[in-house]
């Protein structure tokens, strides 16, 4: 066989097609990831989100910091609508840690059995109520670090509670915020956990308190996971996402 023929066979074999150097693949992927927006663009993005919704609100029902804490903890792996249905009657009879303890784990389960992982959630809510009564006089502490030590309360839940109940401008990064922040992008990060600190540092102070709600609502209703609705996005011209959609 001539050298030419064997070289051509080598070229077209499936093996040689698969042998793209890893470095080249990484470089190609990097090219698809736009750099985060500059400060002026960041300010304009939040100015527009503010203009579109000056007083953004979360969608979980609650009556005080304690019921907010319980509602947020129950919302893990469940929809806000589902949690609101479950807590409608619950919060009428148990809106303090003391009353929750009186209701007890079995009583609580009766109210939340439509939610995913209701057994574990009931156990955690009761254990957290006991600690709040024993160590904090039945009050919800205004501290992410303390709240994080309660059973069933992680960094995200603690950050939502201090933001909404106490006006502490924390960004609780959930799947929506992570996605929107990396599409615009405001940041280039790999996990929700590593996204909170840079967002809290980069987002202009005047927008920090409500940024959490604006980004969640934007991700939930416009910048959706499977198919973002870019054609009706108020920050479309500022966004660097390479796969923008049209109607």
Catalytic residues: 156, 174
Please give the structure tokens belonging to residue 80.
């806000």
Out of 111, 183, 212, 213, point to the residue binding ligand SF4 (CB under 6 A). 183
Task: Return the residue matching tokens 């870019």.
Answer: 230
Out of 61, 95, 127, 241, point to the residue binding ligand SF4 (CB under 6 A). 241
Q: From the CB of 194, what's the least distance to ligand SF4, in Å?
A: 20
Out of 184, 186, 199, 208, point to the residue binding ligand SF4 (CB under 6 A). 184
In contact, 73 and 121? CB cutoff 8 Å: yes
244 binds ligand SF4 (CB under 6 A): yes
Please give the structure tokens belonging to residue 98.
């003391």
Q: From the CB of 215, what's the least distance to ligand SF4, in Å?
A: 10
Q: From the CB of 160, what's the least distance to ligand SF4, in Å?
A: 22
Task: Return the residue matching tokens 């979360």.
Answer: 58
Out of 53, 84, 142, 236, point to the residue binding ligand SF4 (CB under 6 A). 236
In contact, 163 and 169? CB cutoff 8 Å: yes
In contact, 185 and 34? CB cutoff 8 Å: yes
Cis check for the bond before 151: say yes or no (omega within 30 of 0): no
Site string for ligand SF4, 25-64 (x = CB under 6 A): ----------------------------------------
Closer CB to ligand SF4, 150 or 173, in the complex: 173
Q: From the CB of 178, what's the least distance to ligand SF4, in Å?
A: 13
CA 133 – CA 65 distance, rounded (Å): 14
Please give the structure tokens belonging to residue 228.
């973002």
Please give the structure tokens belonging to residue 57.
């609100």
177 binds ligand SF4 (CB under 6 A): no
| DSSP code per residue over 41-94 | HHHHHHHHHHHH-SS---S---SSHHHHHHHHHHTTTS-HHHHHHHHHHHHHH-
CA 1 – CA 3 distance, rounded (Å): 7
Site string for ligand SF4, 198-227 (x = CB under 6 A): ------------------------xx----
Q: From the CB of 19, what's the least distance to ligand SF4, in Å?
A: 34
- How many residues does this entry show for the chain? 247
Site residues (vs ligand SF4, CB under 6 A): 183-184, 222-223, 228-230, 233, 235-236, 239, 241, 244
């Amino acid at each position: 066989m001539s050298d030419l023929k064997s070289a051509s066979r080598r070229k077209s074999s499936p093996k040689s097609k698969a042998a793209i150097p890893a470095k080249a693949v990484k470089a190609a992927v990097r090219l698809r990831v736009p750099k985060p927006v500059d400060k002026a663009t960041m300010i304009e993005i939040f100015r527009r989100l503010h203009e579109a919704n000056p007083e953004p609100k979360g969608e979980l029902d609650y009556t005080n910091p304690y019921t907010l804490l319980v509602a947020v903890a129950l919302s893990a792996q469940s929809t806000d609508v589902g949690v609101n249905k479950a807590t409608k009657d619950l919060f009428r009879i148990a809106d303090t840690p003391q009353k929750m303890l009186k209701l007890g784990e079995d009583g609580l389960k009766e109210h939340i059995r439509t939610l995913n992982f209701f057994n574990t959630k009931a156990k955690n809510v009761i254990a957290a109520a006991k600690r709040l009564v024993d160590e904090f006089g039945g009050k919800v502490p205004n501290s992410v670090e303390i709240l994080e030590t309660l059973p069933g309360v992680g960094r995200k839940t603690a950050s939502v509670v201090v933001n909404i109940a106490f006006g502490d401008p924390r960004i609780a990064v959930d799947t929506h915020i992570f996605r929107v922040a990396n599409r615009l992008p405001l940041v280039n990060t790999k996990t929700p956990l590593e996204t909170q600190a840079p967002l809290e540092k980069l987002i202009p102070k005047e927008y920090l308190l409500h940024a959490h709600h604006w980004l969640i609502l934007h991700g939930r209703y416009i910048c959706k996971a499977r198919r973002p609705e870019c054609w009706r996005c108020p920050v479309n011209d500022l966004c660097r996402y390479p796969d923008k959609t049209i109607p």
